[in-house]
Structure 1
Amino acid sequence: MDDLIAKLVQELGLTAEEITDILWLALLQWQSTKKPPTYNFVPPLKPNPDTPSPTDKLDSSQHPGSSNPDVKPNPPKAPLYPRPPQSPSKSPLPQESLPFPVPNARAIRNSRELLRSLRPLMQRVPSQTSWILDEEATVQCFAETRLWLPQRKPKQEPWFELALVIDASPSMLIWQRHVIELQRLLAQTGAFRDVRTWSLDVNSNGKLYLHPKLRAQVNYQAPRSPEELIDPTRRRLILVVSDCISTLWQSGTVTTALKIWAEHGPMALVQMLPESLWDRTALSEVPKVRLHSLVPGMTNQKLLVVRRDRWRKTTSRDIKVPVLTLEPPITSLWSQMVAGKGNIRAPGLLFSLVEQTSFHLIETISVDLPSEERVQRFRVFSSSIARRLAGLLAACPVVSLPVIRIIQDAMVPQSQQVHVAEVLLSGLFGLATSIKADTHPDEIEYRFYDEGIRGILLDSTPAPDTFKVLSKWIEERLGKSLDDFIAILTNPQSNSALVEQTQPFAGVAIEVLKRQGGSYARFAADLELRLLPPIPAPPSFTEGFPPIQTFEFEVATITIEDETEPSSGPNLQPFEFEVATIELKKSGFLGRETELRVKPSRQRATRFSEDLGNGIQLEMVLIPEGSFLMGSPENELERLSCESPQHRVNISSFCMGKYPVTLAQWQSVASLPQVKRKLNPDPSRFIGANRPVERVSWYDASEFCDRLSRYTEKPYRLPSEAEWEYACRAGTTTPFHFGETIISELANYNGEVTYAAGSKGVYRQETTPVGSFGVANAFGLYDMHGNTCEWCADYWHKNYKGAPSEGNAWSSSGDNDNQMRVLRGGSWNDRPASCRSAYRFRYSAFNESYIGFRVVCGLPPKTL
């Protein structure tokens, strides 16, 4: 140690204080690498002799005393139990229990798409009450009159203000979280002048009234009349949020308010249930129509109607109400209709003012139905996503709204609010807790009508261990959420009564609890002591045997590192990304309209990052090996003869740039020592560190790869044409990896030109930052269609006759005296047909134009 200190002082000139800090930091790092002892904990579950418990599928390694010595024990976890409904007396928690805030998953999972669907309403118009100084007009007035007379002009403000009218019926309790998030989402966008929430209910005399805000948010306020929402300027949107189940709708009481609002402005019904369940509500006998408008902001009663039963005429007693769900495509139709796009027909309903003499009884599933028939009915009438969600809930010991939302986020990310409605109203579930006026929806537990339903769903829908999945989801987001729900953290050994009543839905690692500090750290320490294995008794020794004494000694280990050993390949790490698929769907009541729907999904891939210095990273994605049909089929729209004949190509694994090479990456590599030719550090027309570099020749791109290879000692190069198309398609056979068409919301191209059933979009006339659209293909690659054309290593050939079948570059002299190379992907300036996966174009290797590239890296054999 003395020699080390002397060397630090002599060679580095460190002071005594600096050396002390170094030694202290080294000690902390050494202590942090010491692994704490791990012990197992299995949450106790109520045994069921007929149906296997979801946690029965756990590996034997999770049980204490496992006989497999090679299996590493799991870290101990403290179980999380659902919080019981609060009684009026606010009874205390069980002994040795703590309230624990658990991150709340989003209820509205498609908020970005939902806001995007409301864009037609996000217009700004001159205010009728607010004015600002018109500087230009004031100066003009002074120039003409020589008098300083301030000139005013109306202030620009949002077109509409919004009134959210929430049905206060008990059946809407389960949608309270969705309503709160919807109100928050609409208020935070700034798209509306004002967003206010009202509760809709009836008094003991059956008279309709409004309460300001949600009833769950206020104790009491004076009731208001529905006429209070009338705006003489017709600039107030009214959205009535309901499931249309209560007597408010069954008796027709609500139609009085609907008529008042429909006569004085735009109004719509937001139905919380999917259309497949409307026949079980008060909407079952309401005529379904299509509504459209030629004038922006038209009142409902002036909307034009298209009926399925065209021989029937619409009368003045009919109340025209557009209907929508929290699905962006349907919301988009309504917002475009309100904006006055006459060719848009939104779904609607025709309510009647004729009083109903009796309530419409909602169809319910008989309590006497056997489990098999209940499940069969659910499978016949539900969507595939709802069936998947029900199977996962069957594997979960506790079913509540917060747990459902976490399962959606962690395991069924494509599911929406309508799928939750399909499951909870399917007849498979009942309430496990009684609901009172002050019951919080997050405290309501659901149960299967009988355990036979759970067993059938588990047998037909293989599900992962939800306890593990939920525990991991909670631990990853702990302390990072602004919205929590309360669970109970308890010691099951001290609360046998609680354990008998319910089961834990997740667990929190003891090490995670320790990091929370305070009472949680003390709870974790106490639980860890209870889980410690008993200390074995010391062995007995025979008389006369010398006593055992302890002594200390040092051990030295010599490790010989072979510096000549080749690298085992890049350090690949998993990552998640969003994939978008464009679907063409017949939608609406009439089913005669083709609608483009963007279906998002989550995928996983692996990647590694190359450090280029100054914080600049080059991300490389692993492309798996496989084979594909290269080229386009004869029936593909706007195909070229150079894309044929289609032929099968085998591709070995390689890594490809996640994005096109950016200007920042180009400048970093351009500063490296020259290999064959000089590189211009600023070649691009469109400046931006994260924009793709352009105006790069084929020889410049090759020089970039040579310098990068020398710097990293990895084999970087341009992709072959076959590798590029294989990576772009990512397993698809459609013209684009998005599907049969492309839209400008997903890629940067000339959006004024359409392809197939696509719609016109934005022509940006410049490059965009890489990855700015937020969607990749199934391999995890971004911007494969549009933005910049990309160089391939191949020489140009006029077709694929004689092309290689193993994915390597076709480098033999082609039809151009070795001057022409291949471009792929299309650019911001190209029409969509030139951005297809199979599209290829020839260009001079010396020409720069607005062309970029992305790099690939070969893998050593041992990583394949």
Structure 2
Amino acid sequence: MITRVTQVLAESGVELSQEELLDAFWLAGRLPRGSGPLARLAAPEAPYGPAEAPADAAPSPAEPGPEGAEEPHEPATAGQPDPGPARPVLSTAEPEEDTDAPQVPALPVRAPDGRVSGAGELRLGKSLRPLRQRFPDHRRHELDIARTVTVLADTGMLETVTRPVRSRWLSLVLVVDDGVSMVLWQRLAAELRALMERASAFRDVRVHGLDTRGGTPRLRTSPYTDSGRLRAPQTVSDPTGNTLALVVSDGVGEAWRDGRMRRVMELWARCGPTAIVQALPARLWDGSGIAARPWRVTTRRRGGPTRAWHVTDPVLPPDLVHFDSVAVPVLEPTPVAVGDWARLIASPSGTAVLPLWSPGRDRPGRPSAGASPGDGAQAVLRFRDAASPEAYRLAAHLAAVSPVTPPVMRLVQTALGPPTDPGHITEVFLGGLMHQLTTDAPDRLPHHRRYDFSGDARPLLLTAVSPKELLRTTRTVTAHIEAAVGRSPVFPAWVGHPDGSAVIGNAGRSFGWLKEELLRRLGIAPGGGSGTGTGSGPGPRAAGAVPDPAAPPGAESDGCGTATEPLLPGPDELPPGWEPS
């Protein structure tokens, strides 16, 4: 019977194994009553706007006019079904105080998050293959069937013969720095942990959190939590040299600059192989506490402590330059960097050029995350002078949808595309403009924590970009969410819905607009009506945001600002020297 059902499904274009079919039956029997069907991930939906017309067809009235002309509304295409109203999705669902904006009901939704490693995750896993070596473990033995049969045939006596079990030669201790700024790299740490556990290269994988807030760095049983017993760094040292210590950090914490973490890393490097995975892009390494420069490294045996490495300058002769510290490799989370390091660790003897943690002078730390007290205009001016142009542009886009969580920051940065990268998120986060909301519980998970800009800084940042650019970014974020449904990890968000139990105080700060079809795929049944702040189709108003008829002229919402909160401040509201874009 099951075989016949799978054959019928295969002929219909749905190929399922018998186990998958039984799982589907089991799940169907446990779904709550009245729940909608769980649709399979379909092909990408048609992009916003009308279908592409043939080259020889006459231009339609909806095509854009000359350069500089106002972008017209995009009418629904006759060949496409109406996707339904679009609903705003935000990072928070709390009513705003001291405002007359309408309160939009909202439902919780698990929005898909992007992967930090992206398409290179498979190649990153392949770069660890040199570590998949097995060697005889004389502490464990197993039955040698072939030799036992040979002895029985030669002597006629049933005598068992054993041999050492061939097992993996390395254990892994993954230490995740959980400082203030490392909340941005929680997804990277989670992906590295999953990658190491699936690599089949280690006997066991132990994960610890690194607490550097006290006098001496300590280890926790789990990262990103305040609970758990604190342990000394010596507890993970392995005198046998068969334990690899891998630290994930961005080097922003004070302990990376004042020498405390250097003493810890040297302790681990004296016992076994040790390395640091630098979360920041290479262009920001010199500004962190983990600056590195390339050195030529020669190993004398497989694995072993990195203290025993022979280090020379890759260009200058050894008599001119000396490396007067313990060698600690600093790796980018890329297949090339990890592959070169893994081949060097796994080879009995070899030579490679690797970036090593520079033994430079200890430098004072940079300011940590948190809004600077004082005038918001001065804080924005300081940030604009110190940050890169890409980080300043990213800050304006984040201010338009704030408060934001780390996954929303990554979605907005990904939507902007090159030349912005995750390092620019760190520039904004540590730029003295953002602060964590005080309403968040202390035990809130890292990717659930919400961050906002100060009230004075937000309108000034919004002058850096035009409303049309903000709308394009919102559409791109929505397209990324649609493409990632069912394929990526999720994070909590709130979507406007007439059946919601919570309320959204300002739908204009939404980072995306989800249509009814996508909401069904996310497990939310369609509501009865378009709801407040939604419309009938996409267009220049961010998926059809409807202006408030009671609002004064020129104050209607465009998907990034509301009638009660204009997108850009008026000329009389700007401080001296500021001009809107």
Q: Same fold (TM over 0.5)?
A: yes
- Change beyond 3 A, Cα 1:482–1:128: farther
> Following the alignment from structure 1 to structure 2, what is the Cα–Cα distance between the partners of residues 470 and 138?
64
- Within 5 Å, give how 1:264-275 maps onto structure 2: 264-275=271-282
Contact kept, 8 Å, 2:331 with 2:338, in 1: the verdict is: yes
User: Structure 1, residues 259-281: CA drift from partner, whole Å, max 9, x if none?
Assistant: 21111100011111122212222
- 1:463 Cα offset (Å): 7.8
User: Given the two structures, how large is their TM-score scaled by the length of structure 1?
Assistant: 0.45
> Following the alignment from structure 1 to structure 2, what is the Cα–Cα distance between the partners of residues 278 and 194?
31
Q: Does 1:360 align with 2:368?
A: no
User: Structure 1, residues 719-763: CA drift from partner, whole Å, max 9, x if none?
Assistant: xxxxxxxxxxxxxxxxxxxxxxxxxxxxxxxxxxxxxxxxxxxxx
**One of 97, 101, 112 as aligned partner of 2:122:** 112
**One of 486, 493, 518 as aligned partner of 1:487:** 493
- Change beyond 3 A, Cα 1:295–1:446: farther
- Change beyond 3 A, Cα 1:232–1:514: closer
- Change beyond 3 A, Cα 1:516–1:441: closer
**Paired residue for 1:403?**
408
**One of 322, 344, 350 as aligned partner of 2:352:** 344
Partner-residue secondary structure (3-state), 1:403: helix
- Within 5 Å, give how 1:271-290 maps onto structure 2: 271-284=278-291, 289-290=295-296
- Change beyond 3 A, Cα 1:423–1:516: closer
**Paired residue for 1:160?**
170
User: Structure 1, residues 586-611: CA drift from partner, whole Å, max 9, x if none?
Assistant: xxxxxxxxxxxxxxxxxxxxxxxxxx
- 1:195 Cα offset (Å): 1.0
- 1:255 Cα offset (Å): 2.3
> Following the alignment from structure 2 to structure 1, what is the Cα–Cα distance between the partners of residues 535 and 343?
64
**Paired residue for 1:214?**
223
**Paired residue for 2:85?**
76
| Amino acid in the other structure paired with 2:135 | V
| Amino acid in the other structure paired with 2:450 | I
- Within 5 Å, give how 1:743-782 maps onto structure 2: none
User: Structure 1, residues 247-266: CA drift from partner, whole Å, max 9, x if none?
Assistant: 22222112222121111100
**Paired residue for 1:260?**
267
| Amino acid in the other structure paired with 2:139 | T
- Within 5 Å, give how 1:683-832 maps onto structure 2: none
**One of 404, 429, 433 as aligned partner of 1:430:** 433
- 1:508 Cα offset (Å): 2.1
Larger relative contact order (Cα-Cα within 8 Å, sequence gap ≥ 6):
2
> Following the alignment from structure 1 to structure 2, what is the Cα–Cα distance between the partners of residues 69 and 339?
62
- Within 5 Å, give how 1:458-857 maps onto structure 2: 465-478=472-485, 480-481=486-487, 483-491=489-497, 498-500=504-506, 503-513=509-519, 520-521=524-525, 524-527=527-530
- 1:313 Cα offset (Å): 3.2
- Change beyond 3 A, Cα 1:477–1:259: closer
Partner-residue secondary structure (3-state), 1:331: helix
User: Structure 1, residues 64-93: CA drift from partner, whole Å, max 9, x if none?
Assistant: xx9x9999976311221113599xxxxxxx
Contact kept, 8 Å, 1:374 with 1:428, in 2: the verdict is: no
Contact kept, 8 Å, 1:291 with 1:347, in 2: the verdict is: no
Partner-residue secondary structure (3-state), 1:114: helix
**Paired residue for 1:60?**
73
Number of equivalent positions = 444
User: Structure 1, residues 353-406: CA drift from partner, whole Å, max 9, x if none?
Assistant: x9x6xx614389998487699389614xx7xxx89x949947974554323444
- 1:500 Cα offset (Å): 3.4
| Amino acid in the other structure paired with 2:171 | E
Q: Does 1:441 align with 2:446?
A: yes
- Change beyond 3 A, Cα 1:441–1:214: closer
- 1:453 Cα offset (Å): 5.0
**Paired residue for 2:26?**
none
- Change beyond 3 A, Cα 1:378–1:190: same
- Structure 1: stretches of 5+ with no match in the other structure: 1-39, 41-55, 87-93, 534-864
Contact kept, 8 Å, 1:510 with 1:528, in 2: the verdict is: no
**Paired residue for 1:556?**
none
| Amino acid in the other structure paired with 1:241 | V
Partner-residue secondary structure (3-state), 1:183: helix
> Following the alignment from structure 1 to structure 2, what is the Cα–Cα distance between the partners of residues 530 and 507?
10
**Paired residue for 1:298?**
304
> Following the alignment from structure 1 to structure 2, what is the Cα–Cα distance between the partners of residues 73 and 59?
19
- Change beyond 3 A, Cα 1:378–1:457: farther
**Paired residue for 1:770?**
none
- 1:180 Cα offset (Å): 1.3
- Within 5 Å, give how 1:80-159 maps onto structure 2: 80-83=89-92, 96-109=105-118, 110-159=120-169
> Following the alignment from structure 2 to structure 1, what is the Cα–Cα distance between the partners of residues 306 and 131?
16
Contact kept, 8 Å, 2:270 with 2:305, in 1: the verdict is: yes
**One of 300, 314, 327 as aligned partner of 1:320:** 327
> Following the alignment from structure 1 to structure 2, what is the Cα–Cα distance between the partners of residues 313 and 530?
65
User: Given the two structures, how large is their TM-score scaled by the length of structure 2?
Assistant: 0.64
- Change beyond 3 A, Cα 1:59–1:495: farther
User: Structure 1, residues 214-254: CA drift from partner, whole Å, max 9, x if none?
Assistant: 243xx632222211112232111100111111122222112
User: Structure 1, residues 485-507: CA drift from partner, whole Å, max 9, x if none?
Assistant: 11112259999983438611122
Q: Does 1:170 align with 2:155?
A: no
- Within 5 Å, give how 1:183-202 maps onto structure 2: 183-202=193-212
User: Structure 1, residues 125-174: CA drift from partner, whole Å, max 9, x if none?
Assistant: 22243322212221222233322221112222223111111112222111
Contact kept, 8 Å, 2:297 with 2:311, in 1: the verdict is: yes
> Following the alignment from structure 2 to structure 1, what is the Cα–Cα distance between the partners of residues 493 and 481?
12
- Change beyond 3 A, Cα 1:256–1:421: same
Partner-residue secondary structure (3-state), 2:137: strand
**Paired residue for 1:717?**
none
Contact kept, 8 Å, 2:174 with 2:205, in 1: the verdict is: yes
Contact kept, 8 Å, 1:392 with 1:466, in 2: the verdict is: no
**Paired residue for 1:678?**
none
> Following the alignment from structure 1 to structure 2, what is the Cα–Cα distance between the partners of residues 119 and 155?
20
> Following the alignment from structure 1 to structure 2, what is the Cα–Cα distance between the partners of residues 101 and 289?
45
**Paired residue for 1:596?**
none
Contact kept, 8 Å, 1:289 with 1:350, in 2: the verdict is: no
